[in-house]
Chain A
């Protein structure tokens, strides 16, 4: 059974439908890339999966670990192991990274019926996971994302993911704005977290991230629909041909569907 199953998902924002029926099945241990041009609905999909208010599901179903995901609030989804790495991580002045992450981790652990981590065990865990994304420990004491560079914010997202150990991670354009060194650090962090029980939905505009996080499946989202699915070759083809290729050759595109 799939970890995540989307059936004919329609999502509207402020009364305007953005996603027009998405079907997608993600199994445990799989990495799926969602590619597409700007405005195709990639971030809408990410936000809707994370449970953002204002992203109204007008039709369709989403099942996650055998449950109806749409019945769960954002925090319940997080506690059930769904993690969204934000395209634009929010700056929260006054809330230290450490406090915030410890409160989050303990909320998740309590939900799982595990004991809360005390300050010492938490610090040990955090130090270990920081090394995955080579974050400076000084950033821990700083307010969440406050004054972080773009690269630090994205690494902080992956660091949080490493601490919270989700079952399904949705990375929303985590590569945007990163130089190649930062991109490699982020990709290494993600790769080190890959495993048979954890799935990733990697949303990106560019193929280059997929050189470092090699996906099992690639889907192309356009105008709110998945217009093509394939393997890694599809991403490489898109890199060469651009998204216009899809419009120019609808018949060929259809033929290329597996």
Chain B
């Protein structure tokens, strides 16, 4: 039975050994891999005829003989300094590197470590949650990751536990001499009434890497999670990442998604408010230049009454870069008193940059408040002149206004080190930053 369903898509070349248990994985995992592999085989790679992939082409992924990254033995690029001075898990090419990680001082009962180890030795933590998608069910790359990820991170926080310091997940792609798929998998479970902050950074991807990352987050009743993700690959890398969040009653999520680098980046963020009174705040910022293409697809499903969701995604586009924002809000029939808001604002710094911004509201309840707004524009020339008339030159004036546009999102980051680092990253993109940096 198992061998009969082994698919033949080149991107699944390594899956056979996983499905027939040669890596000693528990049965539940092999079964979920089998389902995922079948799903990927059935779906195939997206084409532009797919509604969800209309503006983002991934044809190149089918034209390259990819191999799945094996556990590397060569030296890693030096991991960047910690942003959060917190607990730290370093994942290289999808494999946890324990010797680079720093986990002392975690509260009792917290599991922070290798996902593969956890699946083998603590299956009770993993089995109820892993690859239990209820939103990203027809997403080929989520399936691809589930079919053949080899390792990653489990962060499991028992009920009633507060993590004082952030947990940093540092995901690094090594340099490879042939086209390599990197498949990091992260599972975060925040137990009932617990609280945590996670900073999730990805870097190192280059022309020969395709990062296909999948993260699942479960926020149980009354729990709070701040989750920040930063993608900062080379301008030639392909990075497709998904984050699926399942929220319990009265839980709260603050998500900040920052895309700084990467040639082709696709972020799917799907949040399901399963419990009554859950709250999701979803911030995003993408800074693009050159020929970068960044696609943010958001799906917020209000599945229970009294939920609140706020989306604020901002983009600053230069060069001939492209951005896609697709924000979908679904309010289920029983989800009365839902309050959902969405805002996507884009600043174009060049005439060649292009944005596709597409809100989608699907409301099946009658006592709700849903709003959305989308803007695409250039810098306000009245404001530029006002600043110049006070002595700032054009580059400084434009930089100051661009800075102001970005900081609305950046200043909402609640981890100071990360906030500073993103402020620096924004400043570094501005031509007139030297003149204004001192004043800021």
Binding site for B on A (CB under 8 A): 50-53, 73-75, 77-79, 83-84, 86, 89-90, 92-95, 99-108, 111, 116, 143, 160, 164
Known: A75-B393, A90-B383, A103-B436. Is A143-B404 also a contact (CB below 8 A)? yes
Tell me the residues in window 413-440 of chain B with beta carbons closer than 8 Å to chain A beta carbons.
435-436, 438-440
B405 part of interface (Cβ distance < 8 Å): yes
Known: A90-B380, A90-B382, A93-B404. Is A74-B389 also a contact (CB below 8 A)? yes
Please give the distance in Å from B417's CB to the nearest CB on chain A. Answer: 22
Q: Which of A53, A103, A164 contacts B439 (CB 8 A)?
A: A103
Instruction: Specify which chain A residues have a CB less than 8 angstroms from the CB of B405 in the assembled complex.
Output: 94
Contact indicator B396/A107 (Cβ below 8 Å): yes
Contact indicator B394/A106 (Cβ below 8 Å): no
Contact indicator A164/B403 (Cβ below 8 Å): no
Contact indicator B389/A78 (Cβ below 8 Å): yes
User: When chains A and B are docked, how far (Å) is the Cα of A241 from the Cα of B4?
Assistant: 100
Report B372-403 CB contacts with A as 1/0, cut-off 8 Å.
00000000111101111111111011001101
User: When chains A and B are docked, how far (Å) is the Cα of A94 from the Cα of B405?
Assistant: 7
28 contacts between A and B (CB under 8 A): A52-B389, A53-B385, A73-B394, A75-B394, A78-B388, A78-B391, A79-B391, A83-B389, A86-B386, A86-B389, A90-B380, A92-B401, A92-B404, A93-B404, A94-B404, A94-B405, A94-B408, A99-B439, A100-B387, A100-B390, A100-B400, A103-B392, A103-B438, A103-B439, A107-B390, A107-B391, A107-B396, A164-B390
- For B, the interface residue count at a CB cutoff of 8 angstroms equals 28
Where chain A touches its partner, the secondary structure class is helix
Known: A90-B382, A90-B383, A103-B400. Is A84-B389 also a contact (CB below 8 A)? yes
Chain B's closest residue to A90 (CB) is: B386
Q: Which of A73, A94, A111, A160 contacts B390 (CB 8 A)?
A: A160
B407 part of interface (Cβ distance < 8 Å): yes
Instruction: Specify which chain A residues have a CB less than 8 angstroms from the CB of B386 in the assembled complex.
Output: 86, 89-90, 92
Instruction: Specify which chain B residues have a CB less than 8 angstroms from the CB of A83 in the assembled complex.
Output: 389
User: When chains A and B are docked, how far (Å) is the Cα of A237 from the Cα of B394?
Assistant: 44
User: When chains A and B are docked, how far (Å) is the Cα of A99 from the Cα of B394?
Assistant: 16
**How many residue pairs between the two chains, A and B, have CB atoms under 8 Å in the bound complex?**
91
Chain A's closest residue to B399 (CB) is: A103
Instruction: Specify which chain A residues have a CB less than 8 angstroms from the CB of B382 in the assembled complex.
Output: 90
User: When chains A and B are docked, how far (Å) is the Cα of A73 from the Cα of B54?
Assistant: 45
Contact indicator A92/B396 (Cβ below 8 Å): no
User: When chains A and B are docked, how far (Å) is the Cα of A22 from the Cα of B408?
Assistant: 45
Contact indicator A75/B392 (Cβ below 8 Å): yes
Please give the distance in Å from B281's CB to the nearest CB on chain A. Answer: 19
Instruction: Specify which chain A residues have a CB less than 8 angstroms from the CB of B390 in the assembled complex.
Output: 78, 100-101, 104, 107, 160, 164
Known: A50-B385, A95-B404. 4 other contacts (CB 8 A): A53-B381, A100-B387, A108-B391, A143-B404
Instruction: Specify which chain B residues have a CB less than 8 angstroms from the CB of A107 in the assembled complex.
Output: 390-393, 396, 435
Contact indicator B389/A164 (Cβ below 8 Å): no
Instruction: Specify which chain B residues have a CB less than 8 angstroms from the CB of A101 in the assembled complex.
Output: 390
Q: Which of B388, B391, B404 contacts A111 (CB 8 A)?
A: B391
Q: Which 7 A-B pairs have the closest CB atoms?
A: A94-B404, A103-B439, A104-B390, A78-B391, A90-B386, A107-B391, A74-B388
Instruction: Specify which chain B residues have a CB less than 8 angstroms from the CB of A105 in the assembled complex.
Output: 391
Chain B's closest residue to A89 (CB) is: B386
Instruction: Specify which chain A residues have a CB less than 8 angstroms from the CB of B401 in the assembled complex.
Output: 92, 94-95
Instruction: Specify which chain B residues have a CB less than 8 angstroms from the CB of A50 in the assembled complex.
Output: 385, 389
Instruction: Specify which chain A residues have a CB less than 8 angstroms from the CB of B440 in the assembled complex.
Output: 99
Instruction: Specify which chain A residues have a CB less than 8 angstroms from the CB of B435 in the assembled complex.
Output: 103, 107
Instruction: Specify which chain A residues have a CB less than 8 angstroms from the CB of B438 in the assembled complex.
Output: 103, 106, 116
User: When chains A and B are docked, how far (Å) is the Cα of A66 from the Cα of B388?
Assistant: 22
User: When chains A and B are docked, how far (Å) is the Cα of A107 from the Cα of B393?
Assistant: 9
Chain B's closest residue to A94 (CB) is: B404
User: When chains A and B are docked, how far (Å) is the Cα of A140 from the Cα of B439?
Assistant: 14
Please give the distance in Å from B382's CB to the nearest CB on chain A. Answer: 5
Contact indicator A164/B400 (Cβ below 8 Å): no
Instruction: Specify which chain B residues have a CB less than 8 angstroms from the CB of A73 in the assembled complex.
Output: 388, 393-394
Q: Which of A74, A92, A99, A106 contacts B383 (CB 8 A)?
A: A92
Instruction: Specify which chain B residues have a CB less than 8 angstroms from the CB of A95 in the assembled complex.
Output: 400-401, 403-404
Please give the distance in Å from A251's CB to the nearest CB on chain B. Answer: 41
Instruction: Specify which chain B residues have a CB less than 8 angstroms from the CB of A93 in the assembled complex.
Output: 404, 408
Instruction: Specify which chain B residues have a CB less than 8 angstroms from the CB of A103 in the assembled complex.
Output: 392, 396, 400, 435-436, 438-439
Contact indicator A102/B439 (Cβ below 8 Å): yes
User: When chains A and B are docked, how far (Å) is the Cα of A231 from the Cα of B245?
Assistant: 74
User: When chains A and B are docked, how far (Å) is the Cα of A188 from the Cα of B439?
Assistant: 30
Chain A's closest residue to B380 (CB) is: A90
Chain B's closest residue to A74 (CB) is: B388
User: When chains A and B are docked, how far (Å) is the Cα of A51 from the Cα of B393?
Assistant: 12
